Amino acid sequence: MKSNQQLTGAEALIKGLELEKVEVMFGLPGGCILPAYDPLIKSTIRHILVRHEQGAGHMAEGYAHVTGRPGVAMVTSGPAATNLVTPLCDAYMDSIPMVAITGQVPTSAIGTDAFQECDTVGITRSITKHNELVMSADDLPLAIRQAFHIATTGRPGPVLIDVPKDVLQNMMTWHWPSDDEVIDSLPGYKPTTKGHPRMIKEAAKLILESKQPILYVGGGVLKARAAEALRELAELMNIPVVTTLMARGAFPDNHPLCLGMPGMHGTATAVTAMQRADLLIALGSRFDDRVTGKVSTFAPDAKIIHVDIDPAEQGKVRKPDVPIVGDCRLVIEEMIVALRDLMAGGTKQADISAWRSRVNGWKENFPLAYEPSEPGAALKPQYCLEKLRDASPEGTILVSGVGQHQMWSSQFWHFNEPYTWVNSGGLGTMGFSVPAAVGAKVGRPDKTVWAIDGDGCFQMTAQELITASVEQIPIKVGILNNSNLGMVRQWQEMFYDNRYSQVHFSESVPDYVKMAESMGCVGIRVEAPEEVESAIDKANSINDRPVVVEFRVAPTEQVFPMVAAGRSNDEIMLQPSQEKRRELLR
C-alpha cells in the first residue's frame, strides 16, 4: 500500500495503532511523547489517562489477560519509561501480549544526558520480548507492525517501541507494510506452532500406557485459547487435571477431574498427585520453582511430556521424555486425534481406575479448609472470599495482587470459566490488582470485576482508583486488611521464630473508607461476619462508580497448605486440622 500521503511521524504512529485495531490505550503524556498526543485528539482510539505510568502498564496487562488482545501503553521518556519497567517485566514473566510506546529525546540529543533522557531500550532489553529505537519516521509503520506481530505470536510478551521526539515531528510518506514485508523483515523470528507428528504419537502412546497420569496445565493453555481442547482431552482419557496459578480457569474447578492448584500453596491433592504420578503431561507450564519445590525430588517417578511453544522451556528445569514444541491448542487437538487413532487400532488405555480412586480419596480427606472465627473475634479472610464468591454473578472476573490474599483468592474462588482470573504470577508484583482490574473492566465492561487486594498492595497503586472514577470504570475492590504484610509476616512466623521485622502496617492509617471517598469511590468498612454479605451485595449493586470494601481481617491467619521454599513437595505442611491424616497422602 504505497501512497503519496504525507504524514508526521506522530500521525503515522496513531494511524498505525488504529490499523492494528487498537481500541483503547493507557497512558500519560509528557515532553517527548507530546507530538503523539495531538493526533490522538481526533483518533478513534480511547485513551485512558492514568495517574502513574506503572498503572498504564498494569492496565494494559489486565486488558490483555481478559481479552487475549495486546494491551497498549504510551508514556513519555525518562522517568515515565522507567515507571513502565515493572509492568514490562511482569508481562514478560507471565507472557502477556503488550505493546509499549515510549517517547525519547530528539535523535540529536540522544547520548547527551538530555532532560528526561534514559537508555530505555537498554534498560528494558532483558524484560521485553523485543524492543526497538525507531530512528526515522519512515520506519514507524514497520516497527509498529513488527511490534504487534511479535507481541501476539509465538510465546506472547511485551514489545517496546522507543520513539524520539523529532521522529514524531518529521514528515514521512505513508506506507503500511504487508504481512509478507513484516515476515521478511524478521528472518530470525519464526515461531513453531505445529507440534511434530512423531512426537505427538509418542506422547499418545505414553498417555495410553500410563497408569497414574496427571495433566499439568499452565498459563500457555489460556494463551493458546486451548481450554476447550483441554477439556476434551481430559474427558477422553479421564485424566485428573491440576491448573497452575497462571492457568486457574483453564479447566473448570467444579469438574470432577479438577484437583485445583499445585505448588507452594496448592491443594494437598494436586501437590501429592503430581508427586505420585507416573506421567506428567505438561501443557504450557514451565516447571516453575513454586510448582516443583525442590526439583530433585519433584515427581520422581514421572515421565514427562512437555508441550510448550517456547523451545527454551523444554529441558530448562526438567528433561522431558517427549518434548513437543508448538501451540497448545494445535498440539492438544492433534494429540486427541492420535489417541483416537491408536484406540481405534485396538490399543487400550491402561487401567487408571485405582489411581482415580486414590486421587479422589485425597480430595475427600484434604479439602481446602480454615478455622472459622470465634464469635466476636476478627473476620477470617477466607470467609470473606467465600461470601464474595457465592454472592457475585457467574463469570465475575477476579483480579488479585500478590501475597496471602492472592493465594486465598486462587484457592477459595471457583474458577469455572477461562479468562476470569487475573494475577501477577511470575514477577509477583505487589500493587498489580487495582490497575489490572481497571484494564480488565475496560476490556470486558459487561463483566463484574473484583480486585482482591491486601492492604500492603493497595497502598502501592491505589491512586489508579482516581483514574477509574474519572473515566467511569466501575471496578470493585475488596481489601483484605490485616494491617500487615501478611505473607512476609507468615514467613517470619514460620522461618524466623516469630521475630517480626518491618511487617506491621498501621491499624488506623489510612482510613480506607475516607481514602476511597476522596477518590470518588464508595467506601464500605466491614468488621464483623454479619456485615459481610450486605456489604458485598451493596458493592455488587453499585455500577456507576468504583467501590472499595475494606474487610478488617485477622492478622494471624496463615495460608495452608504450604511447601516451604526449596523443600520437597513431599514435606507439604497441611492445614493444622488435617495433619493427623497425613499418612493418607502416601
Residue ranges in contact with other proteins by CB under 8 A? 121-122, 125-126, 129-130, 132-136, 139-140, 142-143, 146, 150, 184-189, 310-312, 314-316
Please indicate whether residue 171 is annotated as part of the active site: no
Between residues 123 and 574, which has the closer beta carbon with respect to other proteins? 123
Q: How far is CA 28 from the centre of its chain?
A: 23
* CA atoms within 13 A of residue 12's CA, in its CB half-sphere: 29
In the bound state with other proteins, the residue whose beta carbon lies nearer, of 151 and 229, is 151
Active site residue 115: yes
Report, in Å, the least distance between residue 142 CB and other proteins. Answer: 6
Active site residue 53: yes
User: Between residues 310 and 417, which has the closer beta carbon with respect to other proteins?
Assistant: 310
Closer by beta carbon to other proteins, 151 or else 526: 151
Residue type for position 417:
E
Residue 232 a catalytic site member:
no
**Integer Cα distance of 582 and 574 in angstroms:** 8
Q: Which of 6, 115, 228, 371 is catalytic?
A: 115
Residue closer to other proteins by CB (options 111, 576) is: 111
As a whole number of angstroms, the distance between CA 160 and CA 118 comes to: 14
What is the distance in angstroms between the CA of the first residue and the CA of the last residue of the chain? 66
Q: Which residue has the cell 491402561?
A: 350
Closest distance between other proteins and the C-beta of residue 154, in Å? 9
Please name the residues in contact with 246: beta carbons below 8 A apart, sequence gap of 6 or more. Answer: 94, 218, 219, 222, 423, 425, 426
How many whole angstroms from its chain centre is CA 197? Answer: 31
Handedness of CA 40, 41, 43, 44 (dihedral sign): positive
Task: State in angstroms the smallest separation of the CB of 297 from other proteins.
Answer: 19
Q: What is the SS3 assignment for 65-78?
A: HHHCCCEEEEECCC
Say which DSSP state 521 is in: -
Is residue 165 part of the annotated active site? The answer reads yes
Provide, rounded to whole angstroms, the least separation between the CB of residue 145 and other proteins.
10
| Residue 428 CA from chain centroid, whole number | 10
* Residue 274: CB minimum distance to other proteins, A: 23
With respect to other proteins, which residue has the nearer C-beta, 64 or 121? 121
Q: Burial code of 107-117, b = ≥16 C-beta within 10 A, e = fewer?
A: bebeeeebebb
Q: Which of 53, 117, 333, 550 is catalytic?
A: 53
Q: Are 155 and 130 in contact (CB under 8 A)?
A: no
Q: Taking phi first (over 0 means left), then psi (-120 to 50 degrees means alpha), and beta for anything else, what does residue 346 get?
A: left
CB 291 to other proteins: min, Å: 19
How far is 524 from 537, CA to CA, in rounded Å?
11
Q: 130 has which bridge partners?
A: 159
Active-site residue, from 487, 515, 519, 562: 487
Pick between residue 82 and residue 459 the one whose CB is nearest to other proteins: 82
Rounded to a whole number of angstroms, the minimum distance from the CB of residue 58 to other proteins is 23
Task: State the helix-helix crossing angle for 9-19 and 140-152, rounded to 10 degrees.
Answer: 30
| From 23, 116, 471, 558, active-site residue | 116
DSSP 8-state code for residue 373: P
**Residues recognised as catalytic:** 53, 115-116, 165, 487
